[in-house]
Structure 1
């Protein structure tokens, strides 16, 4: 196995162009597991750790340009105000050691349906900046996942940054696993309120071949909040509205049976998570919360279990 170690981004792109089958590696939290279990044996590994700009981010007026290799720990500690949903999800990723090494770019590259960062990226409105020696492009995250562990990257492209809109309202994330920590999600759920344009986004992970937005549930809840003038009043959300939202989220799923859970359990669990997570995010909105600072206490152990 050949080990390629570029020092600059241009060198990384050139190496990927010359060796399209080279597997990028930074934290190695997914790739090395597959190699150690002999599930993958690439001809080349493309180590991106020396490319400094991939470990940096820029905070603009409306969005954060997150370098592909920024570890989860730094998102939790330094970007929880701008990206509260992603920070909550980052709390649930593996162990502290994994969070110190793993990154959103790596999670996207692996394209697992169970990736913890995927639902909050979908609800925040993110774009993946992909680049090759041919040029760069931005891929809306809704279009990035093309199948189980498959994505929209061309064979000579690398992820440079992820552009994520800053929170303009409360965001929440929940995850169900076989235990509270260091576990792959049986299913995950994220919801974000966008009071500026009076819309809701909801996304589900590990309950279909790809992470997805629950569009029918979003449309229903957006209409219900408007019809009942709840954006202005911040009144209590009727239980029937929350129940219908949960039913629509559950109905949108197309899960499978596997060692972590049955399809029936996943469909039921998504409904429970949708109802509870909506309750959390609406209570935050009612209390005047704007989403800033969600998940601020790293010692708390992450987002709430559904």
Structure 2
């Protein structure tokens, strides 16, 4: 196995162009597991740990530009205000050692349906910045996932950063697993209120071949909140509306039976998580979080 170790981003892109089969490695929390269990044996590894810019972030305007190599620990400690759902999701990733090494870029590259970052990225409204020697392009995160552990990257492309809208309202993340830590999600759910645009966005993980948004549920709730003037009044959302929203979220899933849970259980869990996260986020909104943006 060849080990390629570029010194900067330009060298990394050149190496990837010359060796499209090279597997990028930064934190190594996914790649090394596959290597150790002999599930994968690439001819080349492309080590990105020397590229400092991948570990940097910029927080200005309405978006955060998160370098692909920023570890989960930094998101938890330094970006929890700007990216609350992603920070909550990051807290559920593995152990402290894994959170110190693992990255959102790695999560995207692996494209596992159970990746903890995916629901929060979908709910927040993220774009993935990818690059090659041919140039740079932006991919909306919902278009990035193309199948089970497959993504929209061309063979010569690398993930450079993720652009995520700064929270202008309450966000939540919920995950079901067999224990609180060091566990792959049975299913996960994220919800973000966007008072500035008076919309909601969802993200569901480990309940379909790819992470998905519950678009019909979003459309239903957006209409219900607008028709009832809830953004202005801050009144409690009727239980019937919350139940229908939760059911539509479950309907967006296409789960399987596996060793971690049945398809029926996953649908039920998504229903419960959707209803609960809606209650939590709307209560935070009623208490003033994001109300100014909705009234601006």
Q: TM-score range by the shorter chain?
A: over 0.9
Which gives a bigger RCO, structure 1 or 2 (Cα 8 Å, sep 6+)? Answer: 1
In structure 1, the partner of 2:180 is 180
SS for the counterpart of 1:250 is helix
In structure 2, the partner of 1:200 is 200
In structure 2, the partner of 1:114 is 114
In structure 2, the partner of 1:300 is none
Q: Please give the TM-score of this superposition, normalised by the length of structure 1.
A: 0.94
State the 1:290 CA deviation. 3.4
Moved over 3 A (4+): none
State the 1:66 CA deviation. 0.5
2:248 paired with 1:248: yes
In structure 2, the partner of 1:281 is 281
The whole-number CA distance in structure 1 between the counterparts of 2:37 and 2:270 is 31
Alignment length (residue pairs): 291
SS for the counterpart of 1:20 is coil
Deviation per CA, 1:99-126: give whole Å up to 9, x if none. 0000000000000001110011011111
Deviation per CA, 1:236-278: give whole Å up to 9, x if none. 1111111010000011110001111111110111001100111
State the 1:227 CA deviation. 1.1
List gaps (5 residues or longer) in structure 2.
292-296
The whole-number CA distance in structure 1 between the counterparts of 2:138 and 2:83 is 19
SS for the counterpart of 2:54 is helix
In structure 2, the partner of 1:10 is 10
The whole-number CA distance in structure 2 between the counterparts of 1:118 and 1:244 is 24
Deviation per CA, 1:29-64: give whole Å up to 9, x if none. 000000000000000010100000000011120101
SS for the counterpart of 2:210 is coil
In structure 2, the partner of 1:94 is 94
Q: Please give the TM-score of this superposition, normalised by the length of structure 2.
A: 0.97
Deviation per CA, 1:192-213: give whole Å up to 9, x if none. 1011111111111110000011
1:67-146 alignment to 2 at 5 Å?
Answer: 67-146=67-146
The whole-number CA distance in structure 2 between the counterparts of 1:53 and 1:180 is 33
Does structure 1 retain, via aligned residues, the 8 Å contact 2:195–2:290?
Answer: no
The whole-number CA distance in structure 1 between the counterparts of 2:93 and 2:289 is 25
In structure 1, the partner of 2:294 is none
The whole-number CA distance in structure 1 between the counterparts of 2:156 and 2:265 is 39
The whole-number CA distance in structure 1 between the counterparts of 2:23 and 2:290 is 40
SS for the counterpart of 1:160 is strand
1:265-280 alignment to 2 at 5 Å?
Answer: 265-280=265-280
